Amino acid sequence: MLNLIITGVGGQGTVLLSRLIGQAALDKGFDIRGSETIGMAQRGGSVVSHVRIGADIHAPLIPPRGAGLIVAFEPGEAVRALPFLATDGAMVVFDRPVNAVTSTLGGGAYDAAAMLAYLRARVCRLTVVDGARAMAACGGAKAINVALLGVAAAGGLLPFDCAEAEQALRARIPARLLDMNLRALAFGAALAAEGNAR
Amino acid sequence: MERRLLMGNEAIALGAVRAGVACVTGYPGTPSTEILETVARQKDGRIYVEWSVNEKSALEVAAGAACAGARAMVTMKQVGLNVAADPLMSLNYVGVRGALVVVVADDPGPISSQTEQDTRHFGLFAKLAVFDPSTPEEAYLMVADAFACSEAQGRPVLLRPTTRVCHSYASVTLLDKLPRRAPAGFHKDGGRWVIFPRLSYQNHLKIESELRALRGTFSAYPHNLLTGRGRLGLAAGGVSYLYVREALADIETDCKLLKVSTVPFPEALGLSFLEGLDEVLVAEELDPVIEDALLHLCGRHGLRAAIRGKGTGDMPNAGENTVAGVRLAVRRFLGLPTPEDDGAEAAGEAPTPPVRPPVLCAGCPHRGAFFAVKEAVGRRKAVYSGDIGCYTLGNAPPLDMVDTCLCMGAGLTMAQGLGRVEPDTLHFAFIGDSTFFHTGLPGLVNAVYNGADVILCILDNGTTAMTGHQPHPGIGRTASGAAAPKVDIHALVSALGVSALTRVDAFDLAAAKRAVTEMLDTRGVRVLLFEGPCIAVDRGGTPCAVDGDVCTGCGRCLRQLGCPALAWAPEGRRAARIDPVLCTGCRLCAALCPVSAIGGGGRPC
């Protein structure tokens, strides 16, 4: 059984990532349950998806300390989701901060470096994805969700591999966007391989 | 049999298609919206689908279809049922000939709603059967049961999912479609379809006897379920039942578990549950409907079981239940040790993530409209009445341009009342295009008729944005994607006799300010029609950029607009910076920069 939390800021593509993971797991014969944040919070608020893969799961939500994996699209949201991470859980975090309007009005950007430093101290199985590099490789921010899918699948953090993730992509992503997303998946997989080599 | 990953709302839609629904209507509202959208996407030529102008119209259209013998369904969120309450209350007395399933999505939390009202209570009030699913799979099956129940009773039936059913997803096994019968058609039948007091009295008697019968029938309903044994009992409904199952997964203590999925309460099943019990804990969200039904049974049958839940302070009276909260309550109830690690990080150790409330998107035309009004009004005394939609977010600082928000269409009418008491204040009302069609129009007629002194700002972004971009009467497209006549808001307002009416480009700050200023010192009903497409529909042009050498770091753009694309540059001299990923090039910040440091941007022609 895998409990997985996907977190980010509304508009970053978290919902699509959770559906892709669900689809790939379903294709492999697993039962899936999960829950999304849909509605007002999607306008730039914090959004969290819960994905639960395996048999005999009842609730669509994961309890605190119940997640074996957190995929975070943003350092501050990663820290916010930390209470869900199991003590031996893994985390993949995209390091590019999304500015919060409340911080700007308070006189400055929020301290994303402090968030990352805290994650490094707290989470043993942490993969930090370099945002600038990822966006250069994926042609912008649109396919970041799929790059993170590549990191998690190739890193052995999901119950399916990159080839199976690719099948889910091909089934769900419109043809005109497929190339960009396949590139992002390959970039994520390469990044995971680098991590394994280190 | 196919297994598919479905969101609860998709499961409800496919369940209705399976059950042979012929007519589906609704008005968008979180968490119900995707039900109708999914039916529309099926492109099943035999199903008529429409986004209606509001929930009352939707229910009446569906009621007509059901009176002509069709299986009809109408979808809305819980507050939508308040708008549709009038036809629903009466329709139960008149009845239907086919079937009508009224899907009303409740929103414990609330996560995206004005109230935490419980539609099960609405069912009790309106004397209707309610089906209350726990999961997408169950919702998929229950839709067919709801249609069958409605057809058997000849009355409308409610299906009441909550957010955690609507927006959760699961692997659902799709079943073969049920045999479909052609609608019998409308039969004129004396006074059968005409609600008169005498008929209502007779039908009230019938309804009460049917409800008594349902209390028995529902005891055998497979989704009302009694398991376990012992002297302690747990009763639950909706998603809370799943939380109880999670809590019991690693517990070996004997207890009974009752799952309740219907209103009226399954009384015979409830009595079997209560037999031999000393104590009961009830887990449910919103109102204590199951709890009160059990208390009622204990009172009527002289049973001694103590019923614990909301009334005894064992369960919360407001907000949504959580896995952890229910687990804690269940373990306490069963006298088991409670887990100590609640996931809280050690105090003072974790850095605090930024507060991130939802905000108007970068490039949102509403920001331009609000800012233009704010600048034009300046220090004059004004009250800004808001309404329901993305633009409610104009309430947040730094715009701070929404002083009231009550319910759909209330901004314009509340502004009129405020003006009767404070005639020396400027009274603005802001309303979106979809909300204007929904219930804004009668308020505008009221203002014209009664000679109100208000400035109405219609924010026309060409879509129903908050709920995910559904079409409405002003767009020229139906729910199925077909071309439709466009109801012209400008012509409509003009036809009401409003002469002070100006069309404004929401992205042209200078012109918008001039238009607002011209309205300030006149009296009567004045209407500003702000036009600018929602950026989620029309992504806009190239992003703007700050010239770091020119920017003086005055912070005017940052402090006044609250645009999520604007931030302080992370390093070097104090200067604004624009996030090219978020910026859509609306140029609102460029228009107010005192030193013209912001360049680029612009929307494609």
3-state secondary structure chain A: CEEEEEEEECCCCHHHHHHHHHHHHHHCCCCEEEECCCCHHHCCCEEEEEEEECCCCCCCCCCCCCEEEEEECCHHHHHHHHHHEEEEEEEEEECCCCCCHHHHHCCCCCCHHHHHHHHHHHCCEEEEECHHHHHHHHCCCCCHHHHHHHHHHHCCCCCCCHHHHHHHHHHHCCHHHHHHHHHHHHHHHHHHHHHHHC
Q: Round to whole Å and give the CA distance between B544 and A6.
A: 31
Please state, in angstroms and as integers, the Cα–Cα distance from residue B585 to each residue in B122, B546, B578, following that order. 47, 12, 10
**Which is more confidently placed, A190 or B536?**
A190
Give the least confident one: A191-195, B294-298, B325-329, B417-421.
A191-195
What is the DSSP-derived secondary structure letter of residue B438? I
Report residue A139's pLDDT band, with 50, 70 and 90 as the boundaries.
Answer: confident
Cα angle B253, B254, B258 (rounded to 5 degrees) comes to 120
pLDDT of residue B538: 83
Any bridge partners for residue B460, and if so which? B531
pLDDT higher than 80, residue B408: yes
Can you tell me the mean pLDDT for B550-573? 91
Q: Round to whole Å and give the CA distance between B580 and A100.
A: 15
pLDDT of residue A141: 87
User: Which chain A residues are within 8 Å of B342, Cβ to Cβ?
Assistant: 64, 83
CA B103 to mean position of chain CA atoms: 12
- Matching CATH number, B225-341, of 3.90.1170.50, 3.40.50.920, 3.30.800.10, 3.40.50.300: 3.40.50.920
Report residue B60's pLDDT band, with 50, 70 and 90 as the boundaries.
Answer: very high
Q: Round to whole Å and give the CA distance between B394 and B163.
A: 25
**CB pair distance less than 8 Å for B171 and A32:** yes
Can you tell me the mean pLDDT for B440-448? 98
Report residue B258's pLDDT band, with 50, 70 and 90 as the boundaries.
Answer: very high
**For residue A198, is it within any domain?**
no
Could you say which of B167, B398, B570 has the minimum Cβ distance to residue A36? B167
- Nearest C-alpha in B relative to A55: B171
Question: Domains of chain B: which residue ranges?
Answer: 2-187, 225-341, 365-531, 544-600
pLDDT of residue A39: 73
**For residue A181, is it within any domain?**
yes
pLDDT of residue B573: 85
pLDDT digits (tens, 9 = 90+) for A9-36: 988 999 999 999 999 999 999 999 999 9
Give the least confident one: B90-99, B184-193, B515-524.
B184-193
**Side chain identity, residue B438:** H
Percent of chain B scoring above 90 in pLDDT: 90
**For residue A96, is it within any domain?**
yes
Could you say which of A23, A105, A114 has the minimum Cβ distance to residue B562? A105
Same fold? B225-341, B544-600 = no
**For residue A45, is it within any domain?**
yes
Helix H, strand E, coil C: the string for B92-108 is HHHCCCCEEEEEEEECC
Round the average pLDDT of chain A to a whole number and report it: 92
pLDDT higher than 60, residue B347: no
- Nearest C-alpha in A relative to B166: A35
- Nearest C-alpha in A relative to B173: A31
> Does ipTM exceed 0.85?
yes
pLDDT of residue B339: 75
pLDDT of residue A37: 82
Q: Is 3.30.565.10 the CATH classification of the domain at B2-187?
A: no
pLDDT higher than 60, residue A40: yes
**Side chain identity, residue B230:** G
pLDDT higher than 90, residue B272: yes
User: Which chain B residues are within 8 Å of A40, Cβ to Cβ?
Assistant: 30, 111-112, 358, 393, 466
pLDDT of residue B343: 59
CATH C-level class of B365-531? alpha beta
CB B95 within 8 Å of CB B226 = no
pLDDT of residue B269: 98
Domain range for residue A74?
A: 2-193
User: Which chain B residues are within 8 Å of A64, Cβ to Cβ?
Assistant: 324, 341-344
CATH number, domain with residue A145? 3.40.920.10
Three-state SS at B59? helix
pLDDT of residue B190: 83
Distance from CA of A36 to the nearest CA of B (A): 6
Place of tokens 């200078």: B510
pLDDT digits (tens, 9 = 90+) for B197-217: 988 999 999 999 999 999 999
Could you say which of A39, A63, A79 has the minimum Cβ distance to residue B111? A39
Q: How many domains does chain A have?
A: 1
Report residue B449's pLDDT band, with 50, 70 and 90 as the boundaries.
Answer: very high
Can you tell me the mean pLDDT for B559-586? 90
pLDDT higher than 60, residue B283: yes
Q: Is 3.30.70.20 the CATH classification of the domain at B544-600?
A: yes
pLDDT digits (tens, 9 = 90+) for A109-124: 788 999 999 999 999 9
